Amino acid sequence: MILTSLSQMAETQLPTLPIDVLPEILCRLPIKLLGQLRCLCKSFNSLISDPKFAKKHLQLSTKRHHLMLTCIRDQISSSSEWILCDSPIPSIFSTSTVFTQTQLYPPNTITTLFSHGQKFVNLRCSCDGIFCGELNDNDDASYFLWNPSITKFKLLPPFQNSFQGFSVSFGYDHFIHNYKVISVSTKNEVCVYTLGTDYWTRIEDIPNNYRIHSIGTFVSGTVNWFATDDSSMHFILSLDLEKESYQHLLLPNSNYDSSMLGLMRDCLFLSGSSSSDMFMDVWIMKEYGDQESWTKLYIVPDIQDHGLKPFQPLYIYEDDQLLLRFYAMEGGNIKLVVYDSKTGTLNIPEFQNNYEQIGSDVYIESLISP
């Protein structure tokens, strides 16, 4: 219906429209529909292909979240394989909701032979709908950028001077209006790749007495790692992408046995639990850099009947329900669960394809090309 109306508009009404009205209409549409509109006429194709339109569309795409699932299909049979599935996240969760899944086919270049000859795509992190991933799993790791919404892919240049990266992060430098990939080596050396160049640049190393324990989380122009020092003090190490300098952020609670950083609602969050507890706390830093703004949003209990323990928060719904990864305390299998803090209930959503889930990432639709 929408496609037909816009097609008629292109044929009959387009010359009478104010020049700024059409982009305002189109930038609110999902990418699948925009792809169809590009085939209707040259004016649509030119407009939708404009990088300025892509940025405007991104600003209005914050409610179109998707769930990227790494799964195993036919796990029991000898022909089992690793696959990627995309699931749009419903705007508001209900117990009757079934997540639809579409299998994604990344370029063969970014698949690597994993155990038993199976192909596996090693996605690490995402920013503005673009995933940064690892091409292989050996000491000579190299990286790629991939936007699954528009199937655009870029292989990053190799490192120089025997640099061996083991942790990669990805974010946007608002000062130069460009994306940066940050790689940290086992020796705490740090290299930065700026999109559009063909080389990596060494910046100030992370101090030798620090150890980072997570993939960096991008928020407000910074990349943030959960870190410790030689005294086993826990803190957040933050890298400012513009200044390429570091600072420390204090944790809201340092008594957790395990902690994880992430991004939800454009805010840095921390999840933490202790081995003796049967719940996980979820904190959010409402104002980035203001350590007084840490606020505990959720206390998520275990699902004792199923032997499941909360592991990683993924997404907060419009009605404040929380989507999380749980893991089985026996076997280590992953389950996605929705927690309703108002009623204290935990629901396990249904998926169209009952594949074994290995990993999950939340990202937004984007026309940004890597």
- Over residues 30-61, the pLDDT tens digits come to 888 888 888 888 888 888 888 888 898 888 87
Looking at residue 202, which CATH number applies to its domain?
Answer: 2.120.10.80
Q: What's residue 249's pLDDT?
A: 93
Adjacent-strand bridge partners of 350: 98
- Is residue 369 situated within a structural domain? no
Q: Can you give the pLDDT at residue 116?
A: 44
Model pLDDT, residue 122: 77
For residues 222 and 282, state if they share a domain. Answer: yes
Contact (Cβ atoms closer than 8 angstroms) between residue 360 and residue 69: yes
**How confident is the model at residue 181, as a pLDDT?**
95
Exposure string for 90-113, b = 16+ CB within 10 A, e = fewer: eeebeeeeebebeebebeeebbbe
Cβ-contact 117, 106 below 8 angstroms: no
Integer CA distances (angstroms), 67 to 314, 318, 357, in order: 9, 16, 12
168 found inside a domain:
yes
Number of domains in the chain: 2
Residue environment code for 48-60, b if the CB has 16+ CB neighbours within 10 A, otherwise e: beeeebbebbbee
Let me know if 62 is exposed, middle or buried by CB neighbors in 10 A (0-12, 13-18, 19+). exposed
d(CA 278, CA 246) in angstroms, rounded, equals 35
Structural domain contains residue 324? yes
49 and 65 co-located in one domain? no
- Domain residues for 51? 2-58
Which pLDDT does position 114 carry in this prediction?
Answer: 47
Are 102 and 53 members of one domain?
Answer: no
Q: Give the type of residue at 118.
A: Q
Taking the C-alpha atoms of residue 222 and residue 249, their distance in angstroms, rounded to an integer, is 12
For residue 173, the model assigns a pLDDT of 95
Distance in angstroms (rounded) separating the CA atoms of residues 94 and 103: 24
CB count within 10 Å of CB 86 equals 16
Residues of the chain with pLDDT under 50: 93-96, 113-117
Residues 155 and 23 both lie in one domain: no
β-pair type (102-104, 217-219): unpaired
Beta pairing, strands 294-301 & 245-249: unpaired
